[in-house]
Every structure is written in structure tokens, then in C-alpha cells.
Amino acid sequence: MHRLDRLFKNSITDYIIIALGASVYGASVAVFTSKNNIAPGGLTGIATMLNFLFGLPIGAMIFVMNIPLFVWAYFDNGRNFLLKTVIGTALVSVFIDIFQAVLPYYSGSVMLASIFGGALSGLGLGLIFSRGGSTGGTDIIALNINKRLPHISTGRLILIADAVVLLLAALVYGNIESALYAGITIFVSVRVIDAVTYGTSRGNGKLIFIISDEFELISREILDKLGRGATLLDGSGAYTGSQKRVLMCAARPNQVVKITKGVKIIDKNAFVVVTTANSIMGEGFYNSGKE
């Protein structure tokens, strides 16, 4: 019963923070990027260009373009992932269109617009990602291609998609500056996402040590939900001398929040240590863990 209560409270908290992140992201598009002809990558960038060319609402177009990807996500990623993705995408779409109607846009320096647009979008997306949410688009495409071609990282696939959008932006807006400013927005956004999602410390991977009496349930959760393996180590308390089982799990940085949340739902008293691994070699990691 207590576990169900914790799960319910965590779910409510997740959706509140996802909604907050969506509102921040919506403000970044409405106030800083769209009116300054900055197409910030992904489907948001394509929707921004459609708005410029045909006057179509950015938020509504983001959601419409995501519909076929939702179907793909349902079959490849499961119902829980799809639910948070649909909600995150819907909230982002609604906030963008509402904020475009009611908030004044920034009309000063385009450089400042690209920097602050990137910072706000990174903050918004970081909040969404930190609670296991998603805004669909290239995230779904990259995630599912990576499942079939694991030697190509999701980061690299998203980078390729963003590069295509930047090229289109230069053609649509008729100048290279729009693409260059969008590149700055994407760069700043990625840095802020990293900081929000798993802190300012960066590395090629994360090593997680978990001490809990519920080690069997936790290892199954890690395997089933994230497809990551875990190793059981034997340990003993230095003070009590009692025998303990220690779970060791190597993970990508963006998986740390999901793992630690899952652990605390199963065992709120679990002892968890997360550290940076400069090099990880083996199945599931490519080129010494470099993404």
C-alpha cells in the first residue's frame, strides 16, 4: 500500500513538473525564437518555418506532425512512455499557441534572443526529461532507430536531424544568419538540458551503486524498464558486519533519474551512489562510452 502511495505521489509530481517545463519551453518559442526567425531544431523548428511561410499555428502543427510518431512510440516504447510523451507534447503545443497570443515577443538583439531562447528551452526540456517525459519528434525517431542500430547514438541522430532543420532554415528565411542563430540556440539548450537533467558534471557514462534488501525487484526494474543490465556484488557493513548485496549498474547520464526514481519507489530506504565513469566499454556502450 505504501509503495502504491509513493507511486501515485511521484506520478502527480511528475506531471506537475512536466507541465511547468512545457510552459517554460512554450515561452521560449513564443517570446524569443519564433518571431526572430530562429528555427530551434526538430519539429519545433519545422513548425516555426511553416508559421513563417503559411501562418500556421506552431503549437498545433507540432502536435499534428507528432501523431504518426505517437503510433510508432506505442508499439516500440510502451504505454507509459507514450502517455507522458502525448501529455508533454500536448502541453508544449498549447502553451506555445497561448503564449504567442498573449505574451509580447522580444524584438531586440537576435543574438540575445537566440541565447535566452536556448536557455529557456533547455530549462523547459530538462524539467520534462528529468521526470521521464518527452516532447516527441526527433526524440522518438532517434530512440527507436538507436534500438535497431545501437552503434549510432541517439545524440548523434538528433544532431543529424537538427542539422537538416538548420539547412532548411537557411533556405526558408533566405539567409545563413538564421541558421547560425538557431545553432547557438540549440547549443545553449543542450547545455542547459544536461545541467538540469543530471547536473553540471559531465562524463561518458554514470556508474550507480545501490544497496537495498529489495535488490531482486530493483534489478528487474532496471532490466525491464531501461534495458540496462546490473551486476550483484557481495558486501558487508563495516560497523555491523551484516552481509549486503550491492547492485552495480552502468548507465547513460540521461537514464540516471529514471533509475534512481524507480529505486526509491521500490525501497525508499535504499542507499544510492551515482558517480561518473570516464570510460565504459561493453554491450550497450559504443567506443568507450562516447556518445
* Predicted local distance difference test score (pLDDT) of residue 279: 67
Angle, helices 58-77 vs 42-54, to 10°: value is 150
Residue pair 261/10 in contact (Cβ under 8 Å)? The answer is yes
Q: Residue 145, Cβ neighbours under 10 Å: how many?
A: 13
CA distances from 93 to 35, 66, 138, 144, 263 (A): 16, 11, 15, 23, 32
Q: What is the pLDDT of residue 290?
A: 39
* Amino acid 287: pLDDT: 42
Q: Identify the structural domains of the chain with CATH numbers, from first to last.
A: 2-198 (no CATH), 205-277 (3.30.70.120)
Query: How distant, in Å, are the alpha carbons of 42, 59, 69, 92 from that of 64?
Result: 14, 9, 10, 13
| pLDDT attached to residue 244 | 83
Alpha helices for the chain (secondary structure H): 2-27, 42-54, 58-77, 79-102, 110-130, 138-148, 154-173, 176-198, 215-226, 256-266
pLDDT of residue 75: 82
H helix or E strand, kind and range, residue 103? none
209 close to 246: Cβ distance less than 8 angstroms: yes
Torsion, Cα of 137, 138, 140, 141 (10° steps): 120
Q: Are the CB atoms for 70 and 148 separated by under 8 Å?
A: no
Full pLDDT tens readout for the chain, 291 residues: 555 566 556 678 889 999 999 999 999 999 999 999 999 889 999 999 999 999 999 999 999 999 999 988 888 776 767 888 899 999 999 999 999 999 999 999 999 999 999 999 999 998 988 777 778 888 788 777 866 776 665 657 777 888 999 999 999 999 999 999 999 999 999 888 877 865 554 445 788 999 998 888 898 888 876 667 788 898 877 767 778 889 999 887 767 877 887 887 888 888 999 887 766 666 555 443 333
Q: What grid cell was written down for 230?
A: 546490473
Separation CA 224–CA 228 (nearest Å): 8
The predicted pLDDT at position 184 comes to: 96
